């Protein structure tokens, strides 16, 4: 039996880089990087797929379009190594598609796409299920015992990457909310200035009037202020009195 050779040091390096999150990073871009990394860093591997299942959402990425077609067909057939790996939670190895009799309809599709052997690694990450598929054009490419080590390596780095993306998204959300709050405060100050200029009242009295009107019309204070400022600018050519 041919033994699966260990993955390359470059694969560990490429997977470690997944944890570096920036403005262009998304779950989709991370998964694309994973498929590209395993296709290069796992000996004998010609391509890879990644399925990430989080609650009711499925995100699929593949290093080659033929592999997306193969995964889609497998789901339609309801049989194949990916289906079994997801159902059992265990690694599934196909040493030779032509000699494996478990899923004859899947085997015919795999051969048409040039696949002779495959390895499916289901990985659980914080309540999400990630299924990594490795595909080879020759039989016996993934036979052996190092698949668990590969799954462990992937799980470790992907958990970090997904957590960092979540944290980054939270920071962006907080920043957007803060910016929105500052913008709302600014327009409220402008509306107070309009009321103070028109009635000669104090800033506190102007805000009380804004709040009274917002309650009467059942709208938010900030929305009412925007409407007041917009109407004032339309009438007076954009000039807004300072509070």
Q: What is the pLDDT of residue 147?
A: 64
Q: What is the pLDDT of residue 67?
A: 93
Residue 22 CA: distances (Å) to CA of 17, 104, 124: 12, 44, 25
Count of structural domains, the chain: 2
Contact status, residue 129 vs residue 122, Cβ threshold 8 Å = yes
Looking at the structure, do residues 45 and 151 belong to the same domain, yes or no? yes
Query: Which of 219, 234, 232, 220 is closest to 191 using CA atoms?
Result: 232
Quote the domain boundaries for residue 197: 171-236
Contact status, residue 125 vs residue 148, Cβ threshold 8 Å = no
Let me know if residue 110 belongs to a domain.
Answer: yes
CATH of the domain at 57: 3.30.450.80
Query: Residue 242 is encoded by which pair of tokens?
Result: 């300072």
Helix (H) or strand (E) holding 192: helix 147-199
Looking at the structure, do residues 107 and 93 belong to the same domain, yes or no? yes
Looking at the structure, do residues 85 and 199 belong to the same domain, yes or no? no
Q: What is the pLDDT of residue 221?
A: 75
Looking at the structure, do residues 67 and 110 belong to the same domain, yes or no? yes
The Cα–Cα gap between 41 and 150 comes to 11
Q: What is the pLDDT of residue 166?
A: 54
Q: What is the pLDDT of residue 190?
A: 79
Let me know if residue 125 belongs to a domain.
Answer: yes
Q: What is the pLDDT of residue 61?
A: 84
Let me know if residue 109 belongs to a domain.
Answer: yes
Low-confidence ranges of the chain (pLDDT < 70): 1-9, 12, 14-25, 144-185, 237-243
Looking at the structure, do residues 155 and 186 belong to the same domain, yes or no? no
The tokens 């989709």 sit on which residue? 28
Rounding to the nearest 10 degrees, give the CA dihedral for residues 15, 20, 23, 28: 20
Contact status, residue 80 vs residue 101, Cβ threshold 8 Å = no
CATH of the domain at 212: 1.10.10.10
Looking at the structure, do residues 115 and 215 belong to the same domain, yes or no? no
Q: What is the pLDDT of residue 2?
A: 39
**Sign of the dihedral defined by the CA atoms of residues 11, 15, 20, 26, in that order:** positive
Query: Which of 126, 146, 147, 153 is closest to 18 using CA atoms?
Result: 153
């Amino acid at each position: 039996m041919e033994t699966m050779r260990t993955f390359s040091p470059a694969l560990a390096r490429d997977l470690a880089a997944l944890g570096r999150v920036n403005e262009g990073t998304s779950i989709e871009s991370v998964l694309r990087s994973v498929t590209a990394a395993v296709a290069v860093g796992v000996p004998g591997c010609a391509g890879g797929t990644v399925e990430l299942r989080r609650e009711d959402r499925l995100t699929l990425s593949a290093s080659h379009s033929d592999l997306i077609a193969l995964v889609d067909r497998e789901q339609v057939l309801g049989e194949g190594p990916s289906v079994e790996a997801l159902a059992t939670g265990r690694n599934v190895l196909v040493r030779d598609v032509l000699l494996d009799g478990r899923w004859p309809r899947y085997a015919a599709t795999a051969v048409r796409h040039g696949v002779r052997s495959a390895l499916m690694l289901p990985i659980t990450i914080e309540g999400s299920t990630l299924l990594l598929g490795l595909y080879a054009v020759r039989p016996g490419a993934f036979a052996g015992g190092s698949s668990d080590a590969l799954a462990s390596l992937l799980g470790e780095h992907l958990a970090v990457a997904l957590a960092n993306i979540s944290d980054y998204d939270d920071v962006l959300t907080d920043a957007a909310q803060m910016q929105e709050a500052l913008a709302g405060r600014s327009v409220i100050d402008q509306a107070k200035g309009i009321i103070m200029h028109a009635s000669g009242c104090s800033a506190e009295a102007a805000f009380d009037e804004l709040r009274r009107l917002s309650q009467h019309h059942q709208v938010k204070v900030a929305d009412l202020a925007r409407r007041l400022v917009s109407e004032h600018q339309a009438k007076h050519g954009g000039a807004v009195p300072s509070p």
